């Protein structure tokens, strides 16, 4: 996820580009850059780090150009650096581009271009785009872009300028957002509405397979064959804060709804032709490993519990899952035959970093899973794998967690392959993983149902989540989410343990969220749940398509999916339940009391 701005008009472009990037910095902050264009040439300035670092390096009064493009980067290919920052230019410095998305076949394209004599200066997939445009350009920039995008596989929103047409900006998009707008002083483009809302509220939201040509006083929309299209402007009725939320009431709800795309991006390039591609694990020799430790905090700890269950099923190794705050003070064996996996959304969690450093001191092999490229944990661990959730602004984690589950599934499967212990139905699991974005979309379609069930919390101060086996992991996360944002006291229990004391808490109208998605114990779980119904509980049952559940009034059935992956669609439902429970209680959903997004102290 990156931020793009573009402008051509009758006023200075640089302040508009920087202002737009400022409103988009939530989309990426590894580096930032701009290209300004005139008939005298391109001026490209870029800096590793935050947008403020770029602004500090610029003499704002020295640039009078009225056309330009800008970019703030969330790195996917290549570390944050000056060379990897956008914009990228061709060798003659006559064409400059910025790109949001991932080009899956960039390596093949790069090899073809190198054979044609093109020189690459960065590690990015994006640089292939500018060289392809250069290769195809014969005087008609839209034709060159059209030919280029037909070669690209993956997701992209592209913004292009050239010295040969210094008052024009060109865009194209597929699977990544791009909008254009027009005002009296010029035309604008951006990857999100907030970047241009200050200047115009009339925008065109480009569809996949569309391109646009912007001049100071016109916008022309074309398809990839360069055929003109008639497209209407849409009036945006909300203000800047609402625009950053994309029309959602809160960042948390927006991020819940971003999960299909976040999962899609996390999977991109990591499963090819039914095979897992994780070169970061090539150096791990599992024949040398006796112990596996999974270490994390909060929601990330629940992701580790999920990975622990997979390891117990598929790997013949001793595995523990320990909260990072406890790991250093417990008696956990670590030596050169120990693999330690650390999971953290921010990459800066103090307890997790301290545990990692201890494992390094004891010669353990270390893998980090994070959502922030260049974070502290990535600089310390032997290997780092990144989720591609994009920035999370709401304090309560949603899309970071589900992408952790997806990536951890691939990690454990790959480790099992290295031991020749891959499950016999691995192909089914991978196929269902690739379907997961669509499955999550189906869960999001149940938004209204979860809102209705959240009304059960109206006069309640307590709620209970119950499940067995892998469902117990989901209920722990579901209970945590409800506590975090609604302040409703919520506990998670093994369903089979209810009768050993906890059932004393169940009374008339007590809210119980019960999961029964694991086939080997689902029937037993159903029996356990019936004990709460007999005592007057309001039970919400989440189960599979074919599970018999006579006598239950409130049932949600998840799509058919391999049982080890059921945690993902279930999590989306419990997120929605917690969200609407918090709204019902009038809570500040994005900023729950006493909590911080990244806990950087022990």
Fold agreement (252-443, 446-584): yes
Mean pLDDT of 305-326: 95
The angle that helices 106-115 and 127-136 make with each other, rounded to 10 degrees, is: 50
At residue 230, the 3 state secondary structure works out as: coil
Q: Up-side HSE of residue 358: CA atoms within 13 Å toward CB?
A: 21
Would you state the pLDDT for residue 148? 97
- Name the CATH superfamily for 252-443: Glucose-6-phosphate isomerase like protein; domain 1 (3.40.50.10490)
What confidence tier does 165 reach under pLDDT thresholds 50, 70, 90? very high
What confidence tier does 466 reach under pLDDT thresholds 50, 70, 90? very high
Residue 42 CA: distances (Å) to CA of 9, 88, 216, 302, 550: 17, 11, 18, 50, 70
Residue 153 burial (CB count, 10 A): 13
Spatial CB neighbours of 487, under 8 Å, sequence gap ≥ 6: 582, 585, 587, 592, 593
pLDDT exceeds cutoff 60 at 28 = no
Least confident of 265-274, 301-310, 481-490, 501-510: 501-510
Would you state the pLDDT for residue 598? 56
What confidence tier does 314 reach under pLDDT thresholds 50, 70, 90? very high
Residue 545 burial (CB count, 10 A): 9
Render pLDDT for 230-242 as a digit per residue (tens, 0 to 9): 998 888 766 666 6
- Helix/strand/coil percent split, the chain, to 5: 40, 25, 35
The percent of residues in the chain predicted with pLDDT above 70, rounded, is 95
Helix (H) or strand (E) holding 187: strand 186-190
Spatial CB neighbours of 240, under 8 Å, sequence gap ≥ 6: 23, 194, 197, 198
Is residue 2 annotated as a catalytic residue, yes or no? Answer: yes
The full length of the chain comes to 602
Which of these is catalytic: 360, 421, 451, 597? 597
pLDDT exceeds cutoff 50 at 600 = no
**How many angstroms separate the CA atoms of 120 and 161, rounded?**
19
**How many angstroms separate the CA atoms of 148 and 395, rounded?**
40
Which of 545, 547, 572 lies closest to 558, judged by CA?
Answer: 545
Mean pLDDT of 591-599: 72
Looking at residue 389, the DSSP 8-state letter turns out to be -
What confidence tier does 245 reach under pLDDT thresholds 50, 70, 90? confident
Mean pLDDT of 131-141: 96
Which of these is catalytic: 2, 189, 304, 359? 2
Domain ranges of the chain: 3-244, 252-443, 446-584
Q: pLDDT: is 335 or 500 the higher one?
A: 335
Helix (H) or strand (E) holding 19: helix 13-24
Contact between 510 and 539 under an 8 Å Cβ cutoff? The reply is no
Going by their DSSP bridges, the two strands 179-183 and 202-205 should be labelled as antiparallel
Residue 395 CA: distances (Å) to CA of 377, 404, 593, 600: 20, 17, 10, 14
Would you state the pLDDT for residue 276? 96
Dihedral of CA atoms 60, 65, 68, 70 in degrees, nearest 10, equals: 0
Dihedral of CA atoms 263, 266, 269, 275 in degrees, nearest 10, equals: -70
pTM of the model: 0.72
pLDDT exceeds cutoff 90 at 58 = no
Mean pLDDT of 420-437: 96
pLDDT exceeds cutoff 80 at 49 = no
Looking at residue 87, the DSSP 8-state letter turns out to be P
Render pLDDT for 205-237 as a digit per residue (tens, 0 to 9): 898 899 999 999 999 999 999 999 999 888 876
Least confident of 41-45, 240-244, 325-329, 383-387: 240-244
**How many angstroms separate the CA atoms of 321 and 5, rounded?**
44
**How many angstroms separate the CA atoms of 430 and 174, rounded?**
25
Helix (H) or strand (E) holding 131: helix 127-136
Main-chain dihedrals φ then ψ at residue 259, nearest 5 degrees: -65, -40
**How many angstroms separate the CA atoms of 321 and 397, rounded?**
20
At residue 523, the 3 state secondary structure works out as: helix
Two structure tokens written together for 433: 């993983």
CATH architecture of 3-244: 4-Layer Sandwich (3.60)
Residue 196 burial (CB count, 10 A): 29
Is residue 597 annotated as a catalytic residue, yes or no? Answer: yes
**Average per-residue pLDDT in the chain?**
90
What confidence tier does 204 reach under pLDDT thresholds 50, 70, 90? very high
Task: Match domain 446-584 to its CATH number in 3.20.20.70, 3.30.420.40, 3.90.180.10, 3.40.50.10490.
Answer: 3.40.50.10490
Which of 219, 159, 157 lies closest to 186, judged by CA?
Answer: 219
Helix (H) or strand (E) holding 541: strand 538-543
Would you state the pLDDT for residue 601? 42
Render pLDDT for 576-593 as a digit per residue (tens, 0 to 9): 999 999 999 999 999 888
């Amino acid at each position: 996820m990156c931020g793009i701005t573009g402008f051509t008009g009758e006023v200075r472009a640089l302040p508009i580009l920087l202002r737009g990037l400022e409103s988009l910095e939530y989309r990426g902050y590894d580096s930032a850059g701009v290209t300004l264009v005139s008939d005298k040439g391109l001026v490209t300035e870029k800096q590793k780090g935050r947008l403020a670092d770029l602004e500090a390096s610029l003499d704002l009064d020295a640039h009078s150009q009225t056309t330009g493009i800008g970019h703030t980067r969330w790195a996917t290919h290549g570390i944050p650096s000056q060379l990897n920052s956008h914009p990228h230019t061709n060798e003659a410095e006559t064409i400059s581009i910025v790109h949001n998305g991932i080009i899956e076949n960039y390596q093949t394209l790069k090899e073809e271009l190198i054979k044609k004599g093109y020189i690459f200066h960065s590690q990015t997939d994006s640089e292939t785009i500018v060289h392809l445009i250069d290769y195809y350009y014969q005087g008609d920039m839209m034709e060159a872009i059209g030919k280029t995008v037909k070669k690209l596989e993956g997701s992209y929103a592209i913004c292009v300028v050239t010295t040969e047409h210094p008052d024009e900006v060109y865009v194209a998009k597929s699977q990544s957002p791009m909008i254009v707008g027009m005002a009296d002083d010029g035309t604008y483009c951006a990857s999100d509405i907030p970047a241009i809302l200050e200047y115009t509220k009339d925008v065109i939201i480009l569809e996949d397979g569309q391109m646009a040509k912007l001049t100071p006083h016109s916008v022309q929309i074309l398809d990839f064959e360069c055929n003109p299209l008639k497209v209407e402007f849409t009036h945006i009725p909300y203000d800047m804060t609402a625009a950053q939320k994309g029309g959602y009431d809160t960042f948390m709800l927006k991020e819940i709804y971003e999960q299909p795309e976040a999962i899609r991006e996390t999977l991109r390039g990591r499963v090819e032709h039914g095979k897992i591609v994780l070169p970061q694990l090539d150096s791990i020799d599992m024949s040398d490993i006796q112990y596996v430790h999974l270490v994390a905090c909060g929601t990330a700890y629940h992701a580790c519990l999920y990975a622990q269950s997979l390891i117990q099923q598929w790997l013949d190794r001793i595995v523990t899952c320990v909260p990072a705050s406890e790991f250093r003070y417990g008696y956990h064996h670590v030596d050169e035959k120990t693999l330690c996996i650390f999971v953290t959304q921010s990459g800066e969690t103090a307890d997790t970093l301290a545990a990692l450093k201890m494992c390094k001191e004891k010669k353990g092999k270390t893998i980090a899973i994070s959502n922030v490229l260049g974070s502290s944990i990535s600089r310390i661990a032997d290997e780092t794998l990144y989720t591609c959730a994009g920035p999370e602004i709401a304090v309560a984690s949603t899309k970071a967690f589900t992408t952790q589950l997806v990536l951890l599934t691939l990690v454990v499967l790959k480790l099992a392959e290295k031991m020749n212990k891959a499950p016999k139905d691995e192909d089914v699991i991978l196929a269902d993983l690739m379907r997961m974005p669509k499955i999550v979309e189906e869960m999001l379609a149940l938004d209204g149902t979860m809102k209705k069930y959240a009304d059960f919390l109206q006069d309640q101060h307590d709620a209970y989540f119950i499940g067995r086996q892998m469902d117990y992991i989901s209920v722990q996360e579901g209970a945590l989410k409800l506590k975090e944002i609604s302040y409703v006291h919520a506990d998670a229990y093994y369903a089979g343990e209810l009768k050993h004391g906890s059932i004393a808490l169940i009374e008339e109208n007590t809210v119980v969220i019960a999961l029964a998605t694991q086939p080997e114990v689902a029937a037993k779980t159903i029996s356990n749940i019936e004990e709460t119904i007999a005592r007057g509980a309001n039970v919400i049952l989440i189960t599979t398509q074919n599970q018999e559940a006579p006598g239950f009034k409130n049932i949600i059935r998840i799509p058919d999916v391999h049982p080890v992956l059921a945690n993902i669609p279930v999590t989306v439902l419990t997120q929605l339940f917690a969200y609407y429970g918090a709204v019902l209680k009038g809570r500040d959903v994005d900023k729950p009391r006493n909590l911080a997004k990244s806990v950087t102290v022990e």
